[in-house]
Structure 1
């Protein structure tokens, strides 16, 4: 939702002119609009005196412009919903042609950092969602009864009892071709596909939970939650692994990518075992090209 409606105006302008790096237009309580300026040319000049001469930036103007706004978005100074100046205003601020300004914005659009809205301008998008591990989705389901992250949805739910491929059979400790439940879904956010996720579940659970083999989204939690309630067998141990590879043709099809795409992808696998060490589920997530995995941890003193 845009932030310049209902009395919440936000216009971000930036450039190389003396005095102002960027301006933010606020609507204050009195109804009077004011600009807050930061940082000024003089402040930048003093910083340079203290830190030594700056290194030359030989990038073309459009690349410098894109980099500047990319940094503002990454740092949070430009938040989702904020509007960037018009192409004409950008061209004036940076003293470049409108074609150069448009090229800079097009680069940010290609990176899914902003989107153009006809008649409105260029809006900052929310950051792409980080890939979640199997353990993270399992923990999230315990709290919310859903594996979705904030801003995430799932679609394309499919399930069947099928023959186990060789690599899956090795993990489940069954013979290749033995019967196994396969469930799959696609996770998405506002930027597109986050990951294609497949769950491989021992076929024995289909007898007590026939919904595991139905092509529909489960209700009441993950398959592991349903298994725990129906059988009493709960997850006691989880093993997460992360690797990368060049996407295969099958990977590209699952991730909705053109077949000629050449890209590296993250592959996240998760094994969930009960208290006796027996496997309850084996999950495989394929991250879409360009997706990253971000973790935050606390430092214990």
Structure 2
């Protein structure tokens, strides 16, 4: 049971309704309040947090805006059935089987979700510094950018910017503004650059203006930013992708087996 939160608590400078929302958000994300579960009544929350009715309603509105809970007439406020998704990065590395869609789409569909990718841009650009370093690009070297937004059940969930050394991508379907059946892992394998190793660097950040708008975020809650570098034979980097998703809606799952 959480300790009551009061307005005189000087250890947390957030407003009371933000602190209440934070506690409830943690319980939702940890599973203490499971998908479909009904939240405590307003009276129970008022007593627990020593807060007014208006403050409780403001806290609940934050969670509604974050798409973590829904309010139904006669049913109170309940946790959304799909309030958080678990992503297994290792599942996306291997090329898709012949004739099959990009693995991200097929993996999302396994959970009964309608997954969709929207290709926004394909262009020759100078990547961000960390991407240049990951790809080993020298000063002035460019890369081909493939920029897309991934959606589940009509809601944007991830902004994806993939970069490929221009010398590798030039004259291939990577540089064309169209979707690649099976995704770029399958195409890279066809081009003689099969993915052999994938290295992720994950950080939590405040969303940029572009990310905030693209993901339709309700506030400046942290986003998860993953820089994934894909290597082919001889540890040659052939792809660097920056993936950004809402931190309160997604978690990453990594599995490691002892040697």
The TM-score normalised by the length of structure 1 is: 0.58
Alignment of 1:199-278 (within 5 A): 199-207=162-170, 209-210=172-173, 212-219=174-181, 221-229=182-190, 231-257=191-217, 262-278=220-236
For the aligned residue pairs, the C-alpha RMSD in angstroms reads 4.4
Give 1:1-301 correspondences, 5 Å limit.
Answer: 57-59=3-5, 71=27, 74-75=30-31, 78-80=34-36, 84=38, 90=41, 105-106=60-61, 108-117=63-72, 122-125=77-80, 126-130=82-86, 133=89, 135-139=90-94, 141=96, 145-148=102-105, 149=108, 150=111, 151=113, 153-165=115-127, 167=129, 168-189=131-152, 192-207=155-170, 209-210=172-173, 212-219=174-181, 221-229=182-190, 231-257=191-217, 262-288=220-246, 290-295=248-253, 297=255
Secondary structure of the residue that 1:233 maps to in structure 2? coil
Tell me the number of residue pairs that the alignment of Structure 1 and Structure 2 aligns.
236
Q: 5+ residue gaps in structure 1?
A: 1-54
For 2:79 and 2:122, how far apart are their aligned partners in 1?
41
Asked whether the equivalents of residues 95 and 186 of structure 2 are also in contact (C-alpha less than 8 Å), the reply is no
Distance in 2 separating the partners of 1:118 and 1:282:
47
* d(CA) in 1 for partners of 2:207, 2:222: 6
- For residues 137 and 26 of structure 2, what CA distance do their matches in structure 1 show? 49
| SS of equivalent residue, structure 1 residue 127 | coil
> 1:190 offset after TM fit, Å?
5.6
Does the residue aligned with 1:147 lie in a helix, a strand or coil? helix
- What's the TM-score once normalised by structure 2's chain length? 0.66
Q: Which string of whole-angstrom CA distances, capped at 9 and with x for unpartnered residues, describes residues 241-292 of structure 1?
A: 122334344443444458xx65543321111111132222111112335355
Q: Secondary structure at the match of 2:137?
A: coil
When residues 299 and 191 of structure 1 are mapped into structure 2, their CA distance, relative to the original with a 3 A threshold, is farther
- Per-residue deviation, residues 32-85 of structure 1 (Å, max 9, x unmatched): xxxxxxxxxxxxxxxxxxxxxxx894347x9989968974885377444x6x49
Distance 1:203 1:69, change over 3 A: closer
How far, CA to CA, are the matches of 2:2 and 2:70 in structure 1?
A: 31
| Aligned partners of 1:160 and 1:213 also within 8 Å | yes
Answer 1 or 2: higher relative contact order, Cα 8 Å, separation at least 6: 2
